[in-house]
Amino acid sequence: MSSANAENNNEMVVTPWEVKGKVDYDRLIREFGTQPLNPELLARLEKHTGKLHLQIERRIFFSHRDLDTVLSLYEQGTKFVLYTGRGPSGPVHIGHLVPWIFTRHLQEKFKTRLYFQITDDEKFLIDDESTLAETSKWSYENALDLIAVGFKPKDTFIIYDTKDIDLLYDITLEVAKRITYSTARSSFGFQDSTNIGWVYWPAIQAAPCFIHKKLTGENVPALIPAAIDQDPYWRVTRDIAQKLGYCKPAQIHCRFLPGLGAGGKMSASMPETSIFTTDLPNVVKKKIWNAFTGGRGTAAEQRKLGADPTVCSIFQYYFFLFEEDSTKLEERQRKCCAGEMLCGECKIDIVAQLNKFLEGHRERREKAKDIIEEYHVKR
């Protein structure tokens, strides 16, 4: 596995298939060899987007490769395309929505196309238990969530791997031919017991980086907004892009939304600590009520000593999604530390906000059922 891999159980592991331990994002920047988002680059971004998006301002998106190059080309009149995706292993939770919301923002500001890959094949290959019927069911369900974020069919192209493999196949062959087994093994940690489908598979995640040229004739870079665990794919793809006559794909990387437990990212495999988009109000309430916070043993103690928002999962939801006003966020933090606001009050607020948000999302998700075909990539 990658160099950010674990020696023991508490240590950080960040690979495309596993994220555990306390994630040290500065260390990932060093080990993956990416660039932090610096003020100069942000000032440039701001010229195009107007006020910086909350996820940039708070460094939820914190690192990149070649964002500067993509902006330079854009300033000279060459547009980029956006590319991101989803492995349909189960229902979408609010952590998945974080980079999608940001992608939507970029699409709106830069008026670019989005290619969105749904990797039912990947999830089938890496999970011994899964079936293709199951992963394609989740492909459909997850696409509804993507559409509910607000993407428009005119410039959003969903690629369902098993349905659209004919479109990707020649590109995956070009890619696969130029990546050696030794490079793939050291980037992805393959072992003797790894099935051979999985070994080929990275070529399929690389292909949408280059699909725009095939569809339109335009050779422009792809900018990929995604969580940093996907970075190994982009490293191998960037190495071979120019040899194949394409631009290197650029990335902008985000953090993981923590789960509702003590530490760890939100993960669909731990449903009790994840808020799914389809969770009904009473389920949301129950999950939040059981969530880990930075509170004290008793209310009296907390009033006296204050609590610790830095370890609190609820505070993170305000930070990532639900308190857009930074002054109000600071005020919440201050009251928490001072013992002026107890966890119950904070939880009541977040339940109300979450349920309001999810209600709107579910309405849009229902409507998406009628228009989902309009998003399917056209040849």
Name the segment binding ligand TRP (CB under 6 A); options: 22-30, 77-85, 284-292, 350-358. 77-85
Least Cβ distance, residue 314 to ligand TRP (angstroms): 25
CA nearest neighbour of 141 among 31, 297, 281, 278: 278
**Dihedral (CA of 373, 137, 212, 111) sign:** positive
Nearer to ligand TRP, 117 or 302 (CB): 117
Q: Is 249 in the site for ligand TRP (CB under 6 A)?
A: no
Least Cβ distance, residue 251 to ligand TRP (angstroms): 9
Nearer to ligand TRP, 205 or 293 (CB): 205
CA distance 227 to 252: 8
Length in residues, the chain: 379
**Residue 327: how many other CB atoms lie within 10 Å:** 8
Instruction: Tell me the H-state helices in 67-210.
Output: 67-75, 94-110, 120-126, 132-148, 161-177, 181-188, 196-200, 202-206
Q: Is 85 in the site for ligand TRP (CB under 6 A)?
A: yes
270-289 as b/e: b if 16+ CB within 10 A: eeebbbbbbbeeeebbebbe
Least Cβ distance, residue 15 to ligand TRP (angstroms): 11
Pick from 2, 63, 119, 172 the residue near ligand TRP by CB under 6 A.
119
Pick from 16, 95, 264, 306 the residue near ligand TRP by CB under 6 A.
16
C-beta of residue 114 within 8 angstroms of C-beta of residue 86: no
Nearer to ligand TRP, 118 or 291 (CB): 118
Name the segment binding ligand TRP (CB under 6 A); options: 53-61, 78-86, 258-266, 361-369. 78-86
Name the segment binding ligand TRP (CB under 6 A); options: 71-79, 83-91, 137-145, 301-309. 83-91
Nearer to ligand TRP, 98 or 291 (CB): 98
Nearer to ligand TRP, 122 or 279 (CB): 122
Cα 344 off chain centre by:
30
Q: Is 296 in the site for ligand TRP (CB under 6 A)?
A: no
Least Cβ distance, residue 83 to ligand TRP (angstroms): 6
Pick from 84, 156, 237, 277 the residue near ligand TRP by CB under 6 A.
84
Pick from 136, 156, 187, 230 the residue near ligand TRP by CB under 6 A.
230
Nearer to ligand TRP, 56 or 92 (CB): 92
Least Cβ distance, residue 157 to ligand TRP (angstroms): 13
CA distance 182 to 302: 55
Least Cβ distance, residue 86 to ligand TRP (angstroms): 5
Strand partners, 253: 63, 226
Instruction: Tell me the H-state helices in 220-342.
Output: 231-241, 281-289, 299-305, 313-317, 326-338
φ/ψ of 76, rounded to 5, equals: -90, 5
Calculate helix-pair angle for 39-49, 94-110, nearest 10 degrees.
70
Q: Annotate each residue in 188-227 with x if it binds ligand TRP (CB under 6 A) or - if it does not, as one string.
A: -----------------x------------------x-x-
Helices (H) and strands (E) in the chain, counts: 18, 9
Binding positions for ligand TRP, rule: CB under 6 A = 16, 83-87, 117, 119, 122, 205, 224, 226, 230
